[in-house]
Structure 1
Amino acid sequence: MTTTAFDTEEDLTVLGGPVRLYRAGSTGPPVLLLHGAMLDTAHGIWHDVVPVLATDHQVLVIDMPRHGASRPWSGWLGDAFYRRFLPALLDELGLDDVAIMGLSMGGGAGMRFALEHPERVRALIAVNPGGLDRKRPYHLLTWLMLRVPGLLRGSTWVMARFPGYVRSSLIPSLAAGEDTAGFARIIAGVQEEAREKERFGERAMDDWQIDWYGPLRTRFGGIEELRGLRVPTLWVHGDDDPLISHDEMAAAHAATPGSRFETVARAGHLLPYDQPEKLGELAREFLAEA
């Protein structure tokens, strides 16, 4: 049975597509949470962070398009899409501005939104965000593999039909492995999301991720852009993150005027699963100051 950290949920239409919105907390300023790519959902990644934030914030959480209950979507949902989607989402919510906390892809999309629309972002909390570096290990090989016909939909089929594979793949991504709090709930949610991806004929990776990869370097993002980031910003890094290095995050902090940088011990890329209470308290402290 699915447990929930949310008080209410509702279905919105944004840019012609379905978006499931969850709310928690009834007082304080609003904060919007954006999860990551692939098998992330609002119910999964933010489950234990929301109660901490909701003590003194109105917490707004969405299933990103083609995740959770935000289905089906047609067309290409890459960088250009998210640059239109986030302003349209705030318009639909009737918000002139909001604080944003984003993980991985959600952090990258939130970062670009803050760069282009600083007047609409009260504060940004970027948790292991995507889009910082301009070249990844095995970059050209990865770009070529992403273009192999059927590979990403075939990967979805494998994840949906072999839940043990999903489980064994996720365990190394959690700092405490099978001892992670709520492990059974986390695994069940991720396996369900894999089945939904197959049911809707989706690729294993999000279009935003595929869009990011150019043949020799990434198509957008990069540390150099952050010198123009003019909103209060907190960079949060899991010290065991295998995808985003401490040096990259430190460089992002150094490039962003007036920003803060926090490293969380015993946490990897999926930091909200590993240290949800710590992340929630860091966010509350920063938002109170910002």
Structure 2
Amino acid sequence: MIRRSLLDLAQALPFLLPKAAVFGVFVLVPFGYTILLTFQQGSLLSGLTYAGLDNYRTVLTDTLFRQTLVNTAVFMLICVPATIVVTLLVGMLLSSSVRGMSAYRTLIYLPSLLSIVATGLVWKIMVDSEYGPVSNLFSQVLGIDVPWLTDATVTMVFLALITLWSTCGFYSIIFMAGFNNIPTDVLEAARIDGASGWRLFIKIKMPLIRPVLQLVLILVTINSIQVFDLVYVLTNGGPGTATYTAMWYIYQSAFNGGSLSYAATMSIVLLLVTAVISAIFIGRTRSDGSDYE
């Protein structure tokens, strides 16, 4: 038995080693070096010196970093529920049998093909106070001057809406696949028992797509915590520090006169926060497989 296992391993090694090498070079080595940087101070040019836990102590007392975590949490609380609800409903609609549904699916998915930087630039032009068609629509037609990028609350909501618009197609397709994977005989049996409409959706479909919901919830949460591109393109952390997110602060610390070691430390702390939140979501939405019995 052992000899057979060793023979199987020897046959598999030529296929596993290239992937393991790529994973080690591009994932394990950078991650290990990042952890090493957290225990040092200085710069790559002038040299690094051992600093022990000083960077972690600084993170714990850094009021700006705490503010960035609060801003990131606010963005997440706006973006995650809105994205889950909208994409869940859109995914359910896309899973229905309607003539021309392939065209609708393509149109819904198109924004997801754009880079988030291009998306941000397009929307920045759209809400320009002088020439933006969206701003002109609100000001000239509706008589409302919306401070898209100058008011703290409006800007945060605006960033969340752009994120929802750009990712709606991707997450909707995932939900669509989940709905399409529900056994038709289960739905037919539920309809025979009198379930229909909202009751069928809540009692039958939702429990059966719980693993898909868990996946999308974690992906949306991680995407929200790591928001950076839109902040870079649209706000630069403003107005004031209203959109100064954790990833933006890490970027500023690493590349704009800060400390690379301190940026690495904040990255590790943010990773731990993300892992804790993801673990909580996994625990809360875990399926024991009974939904499929």
Query: Does TM-score exceed 0.5, indicating one fold?
Result: no
Higher fraction of helix: 2
Higher fraction of strand: 1
Between Structure 1 and Structure 2, whose CA radius of gyration is higher? 2
Instruction: State the TM-score, normalizing by the size of structure 1.
Output: 0.25
Q: Pick 1 or 2: higher relative contact order, CA cutoff 8 A, min separation 6.
A: 2
